[in-house]
Amino acid sequence: MEEEEAILFWDEFAQDYAQIQQESSLQIAKEVVAYLLEQQVFPISIFVDFAAGAGRYIPAFYPYVNEYYAIDFSKEMLRIIEETIDDPQNKLHLIQQSQSDFLTTDQHWPCIFMAINPALRDKKTLLQLRKKTDQLIILRTIAEVENVFQPFEEDHVAEKELQLNTYYKKWLSEEAIEWRSCQFEYMVKEEIDRDFFHLYFEDEYSLEQRKQMVQRIFGESLTVESHTKITFELLLSR
């Protein structure tokens, strides 16, 4: 996806993305804070939240940072941060900047944090980001296993996304750059009924196929419980 096209996509998706994050019950932000305190990353004077999105991690990180820079190329994401996140100490700085522009500046930062940065996809960019900071922190989802819908879905793009941290570790190791990792696991449960299951796959499978799928998953039950195991991995390089 070209940069201009990507900006347009994220500007249009920003409100829905923010809503999804607000509805998430995962305690990942709090657990990341605990780990960064343990590793003595926090407290810190200056902190960059790169590809900050709608600011999911800002409220949790805010108390431990003197100057917080939230950087994203989407003006709509930054607008959502400005409108929804309190900044009582006036230390939150919102900057609209693309990854390519960020990498061309001479600024060196004490710490750069990225959560599921969609633009970090190659070794050159990873090494450039590492050189711009004393501490590089990367958080990504590395596994997501679900029992009701996933058996009937094929998403090779998502599978590749889940493998990115593996590449990051390989690329850092190839350059003898130290890193450590920590994983966080969560289980999300949701009640699913037959009608919703039918509607979900309506465009992908025929009615007869869906009936067979329902029999396989639901048996004689009207509802089943969906279990989704989500694993995050945090990489810390310094």
Please give the average per-residue pLDDT across 13-24, as a whole number: 69
Q: What is the pTM of this model?
A: 0.90
Instruction: Indicate the CATH number for domain 3-187+228-237.
Output: 3.40.50.150
User: What is the tens place of the pLDDT at every residue in 44-74?
Assistant: 999 999 999 999 999 999 999 999 999 999 9
Q: Residue 79: name the closest of 12, 140, 26, 3 by CA.
A: 12
For the chain, the structural domain boundaries read 3-187+228-237
**How would residue 13 be classed by pLDDT, with cut points 50, 70 and 90?**
low
What mean pLDDT is predicted for residues 129-155? Answer: 95
Distant-in-sequence, close-in-space partners of 17: CB < 8 Å, separation ≥ 6: 10, 53, 54, 77
Q: Are 49 and 139 in contact (CB under 8 A)?
A: no
Mean pLDDT of all residues in 220-232: 97
Nearest Cα neighbor of 61 from 114, 97, 19 is: 114
Residue 84 scores a pLDDT above 80: yes
Pairwise pLDDT comparison (19 vs 31), residue with the higher score: 31
Whether the per-residue pLDDT at 1 is higher than 60: the answer is no
Residues for the chain: how many in total?
238
Tokens 């509607």 sit on residue: 199
Confidence (pLDDT) at 23: 61
